[in-house]
Amino acid sequence: MASSRFLSFLCCLLSTQTVPLITLAQPAMLYHDCLPGKGNYSANSSYQENLNQLLTSIYTNTEIDSGFYNLSHGQDPDKVYANGLCRPDITPESCRACLKSASENLTTLCPNSTEAIGGSDNCMLRYTYRSIFGIMEGLPYFFVYSLNNVSDLIVFKQSRRTLLDRLRDQAAAGNSRYKYATGDTDVSNSSQKIYALVQCTPDLSKQQCSDCLSQATGLLSQCCDERQGGRIITPSCNFRYEINLFYDPAALGKPEKLPTLPVPAAQPSPPPTSTGRTGKASNIAPTLIIGSFPMLFFFYALARHPSMIFTIFF
């Protein structure tokens, strides 16, 4: 369903940590972060038991059909919190299957981590030792983008910004079940279109959702300014844009949940600014892309997937 050719080139910004080579053998997880600084739990502990039961209760829950799961299990100090967010154009069955796969992969990739986040094309899953309901968080964030560049950057950026701003306002106006929006726009002086999908976890307020998506679009200059397609994923919101239709309009069609706003006239806008942490100046160096085993991983990825690229920033 993806319209851009994506690579699988994983890049981790870790100053003192070594990324285990086993992560190369996990194709089902498109991106993930084990958040090693958040602590670990012991094998066969109460925390692990609560985590396993909580994740199972998410992907076996047939009562929730909105694509957003926010649950907790256990008692302090071993209580576990988790939420799962699926794309709005997939079925509840596909959503649960995606979250099941994410649960299995994330606990395998992040053994003993008390907090972790990861996902694939169709869903995102995160779990932690702390309450995350109604809290907007922008870290860690992840980039995925096309290798193809646009021909008229100035016009493309203006059209893209206008579309993303409009969809941001529509998604933020959603309710406690859905906060997403999809749409497209014509690129001025061109037959080209841009399609986009933006989404927040629906536990956020209208202002939180708007702020989260604004900060996420501010990261475009770090990865995707010239790209024909790209996406930025954060724990609380995400967006994706492409020059081809990548979502299923027939599976959406929820006008009562997403009011249509008038399209504002395209006006020049300043380039997006780079931000890393919510409410703080970024201390992230985007140029430090290579991890602990750069050449080995680069040639491995290039040999396996010569036409695709995937980058992760922490």
Averaged confidence pLDDT in the chain: 78
* Domain boundaries, given as residue ranges, for the chain: 21-133, 143-251
Regarding the domain delimited by 143-251, which CATH topology (the fold level of the hierarchy) does it fall under?
Answer: Killer Toxin P4; Chain A (3.30.430)
pLDDT at 189: 74
The answer to whether domain 21-133 and domain 143-251 are alike in fold is yes
Model confidence band, residue 87 (pLDDT cutoffs 50, 70, 90): very high
DSSP strands (E only) in 46-137: 68-73, 80-86, 116-119, 123-128
Q: What is the greatest pairwise CA distance in the chain?
A: 62
Averaged pLDDT, 65-91: 96
Q: 50 vs 298, which has greater pLDDT?
A: 50
Averaged pLDDT, 225-246: 96
pLDDT in tens, 188-229: 777 889 999 999 999 999 999 999 999 999 999 999 999 999
Averaged pLDDT, 225-249: 96
DSSP strands (E only) in the chain: 31-33, 68-73, 80-86, 116-119, 123-128, 141-145, 180-186, 193-200, 230-233, 237-242, 310-313
Gap between the Cα atoms of 50 and 27, Å rounded: 27
Task: Evaluate if residue 38 carries a pLDDT over 50.
Answer: yes
Model confidence band, residue 7 (pLDDT cutoffs 50, 70, 90): very low
Q: What DSSP string runs through 189-225?
A: TSS-EEEEEEEE-TTS-HHHHHHHHHHHHTTHHHHTT
Residue 13 in tokens: 């910004």
Superfamily grouping for domain 21-133: Gnk2 domain, C-X8-C-X2-C motif (3.30.430.20)
Task: Evaluate if residue 248 carries a pLDDT over 80.
Answer: yes
pLDDT at 198: 98
Task: Evaluate if residue 168 carries a pLDDT over 90.
Answer: yes
pLDDT at 253: 59
pLDDT in tens, 112-143: 999 999 999 999 999 999 999 999 999 999 99
Task: Evaluate if residue 1 carries a pLDDT over 80.
Answer: no
Q: pTM score, two decimals?
A: 0.73
% residues pLDDT > 70 (the chain): 72
Neighbours of 260 (CB within 10 A): 10
| CA atoms within 13 Å, Cβ hemisphere of 30 | 22
Q: 286 vs 225, which has greater pLDDT?
A: 225
pLDDT at 21: 28
Gap between the Cα atoms of 235 and 138, Å rounded: 6
Averaged pLDDT, 173-177: 95
pLDDT at 190: 76
Phi-psi region of 310 (alpha: psi -120 to 50; beta: other; left: phi over 0): beta
